[in-house]
Amino acid sequence: MHFMEYDSPVMTVISKTADILLLSALWFICCVPLITIGAATTALYYSCVKAVRRDKGYLIRDFFHSFKLNFIPATLLWLTFLILGILLYSCFIFTAALSDKSLQFFMLCIYMFLSFLVLGMGCYAFPVLSRCSMNNTGILRFALGLFIRHFPSSIILAALVILAVFIMWFIPLSVFVLPGIISLIYSVPMERILSRYTPEEQRA
């Protein structure tokens, strides 16, 4: 039967689905210590693009290769964003207690803008880390530049991240499926952007 052949459309869909489920499980397991979320996310994106989208390499090997290679910079990046997130959350709590409504509205607008800026930089930072060799300061600057230069795409990427977090928060079992799916969708606009700034040999 032709549909059971290895390169048939049906078998391709089954294979890709299995890869997505495996990636989601690997991401969740590697995120359990929490401090490793950055490294796991970098590895998820790298292996999704290389093994799932482009059929190059081996999924598990590529995942853990990226995880180990980028562990320290990805962890530092994750802690940076985590600290910024905690600070901004504290600012929101403080602002909500203000009695001056005009000042409260003004401060909330500022903190909402800063929150979106941090989220936007985070959307680019880990995919950039999976692809480029530069220090974290350089990655953050590059991520900020990409966020501003490709603002329409940045809105889409931020919406995907928010949607993924929202679904996984309210449907915990989705962590075994959703990360791989979102990463695959996420890579479509992201790869279009990154391909303009990275040489061929640095592409996943």
At 124-163, the pLDDT tens digits run: 999 999 988 889 999 999 999 999 999 999 999 999 999 9
Asked whether 67 and 30 are in contact (CB, 8 A), the reply is yes
Confidence of residue 177 (pLDDT cuts 50, 70, 90): very high
Confidence of residue 81 (pLDDT cuts 50, 70, 90): very high
Q: Which residues contact 6 (CB under 8 A, 6 or more apart)?
A: none
The span from the CA of 123 to the CA of 98, in Å, is: 31
For 23-64, the pLDDT digits (tens) are: 999 999 999 999 999 999 999 999 999 999 888 888 999 999
Question: What is the residue extent of each domain of the chain?
Answer: 2-202
What's the sign of the alpha-carbon dihedral 157, 159, 163, 165?
positive
Asked whether 184 and 24 are in contact (CB, 8 A), the reply is no
